[in-house]
Amino acid sequence: MTLHDVFSPSFLNDLHIVDWGYTEDPCPLSFDHYDQWVQNEGHGPLNYLADERKDKRADIRHFFPEFKSSLVFLFSYSDKKAQLNNFYENNPNSNGLKMASYALGFQGEDYHVKLRDGLKQISEKVKELYPSCLFSYSLDIQPVLERDLAFRAGLGWFGKNSMFISRKEGSFLMIGALFLSEKLDIKQKTRELDHCGTCTRCIDLCPTQAIDPLSKTLSASKCISTYTIELFKEDKVAPEGMEKAQGEIFGCDICQDVCPWNKKSLNAEKELDSPLIDFFLKRPVENVIEDLKGMSNREFKRSFKGSALERTGRRGLLKNIEFWQ
């Protein structure tokens, strides 16, 4: 039995995995590009990208010294994206506010938890074939350049908006990986070419002009996602141009929405059912604001425990929603 036998379509589908690859290269090919971006202060207020963890990202062995290989997985939430689009366009109860679709993916739970559980299940399968193998995992909280890792595994390329794009699956994806202390008998995929061509839709239609077309990097200080997710205090100033956006209160999908690689037919057969939708996106905005103001921070955490919105918190979401009033 091989890993290809173990990773059956039904097993991968249950974990929302749409593609996977393998690499034995511990060093990101884009590290110098990333380092220059930090030196140019492109990371803005996201200090965790520029502190002592920056240099650790130059080699996976700084994080997992036993590294010999990596299995890299693309977890898709495009089904929830399709359902969310259907809600915005066809539900008369939509109040005009929007949130990034990943917040509603993976049963509405924080993807860090869901993907970590999925990677644990995968490691148990691999352990059956390689009993002496040691494991570690990577999501976007470890000092690892995951998009470069997925590129080295032959799963896609970097878009001009710096998002990772798969030819088959677009970019509504999360990347997770297992690091192993052994090399596996798996053929490595050929690295993908850049298929963005002359298209500049993500650059042209970003309302805050956060994307640098020359370096294909993002200015975090100008990014709506940074403002609505990472900046928690009420007195933070929104990036110039955000008023031209579309009611975003948590994250932003605009540069992905306009990408031709995301124009494939998405399955929206089921209606989106989520307490986040019911509380934030269906009711009159003034009622949402009133209820948030009447909550304590503890009540907010209890109400939305386990969701991505926990990170921004009550005060941060109030700041974001009141921007649109």
Active site residues: 140
Helix residue spans in the chain (DSSP H): 3-6, 9-14, 31-39, 53-56, 78-90, 111-129, 146-152, 201-204, 224-225, 254-257, 275-276, 285-294, 297-303, 313-323
Q: CA-CA distance, 135 to 75, in Å (whole number)? A: 19
Calculate the CA 231 to chain-centre distance.
17
Calculate the CA 12 to chain-centre distance.
19
Task: Pull the structure tokens for residue 125.
Answer: 């399968």
Q: CA-CA distance, 219 to 210, in Å (whole number)? A: 5
List of residues 6+ apart from 274 with CB closer than 8 A: 104, 108
Q: How far apart are the first and last CA of the chain?
A: 59
Yes or no: say if 138 and 177 are a contact pair by the CB < 8 Å rule: yes
Backbone φ, ψ for residue 242 (5° rounding): -60, -25
List of residues 6+ apart from 17 with CB closer than 8 A: 73, 74, 75, 76, 118
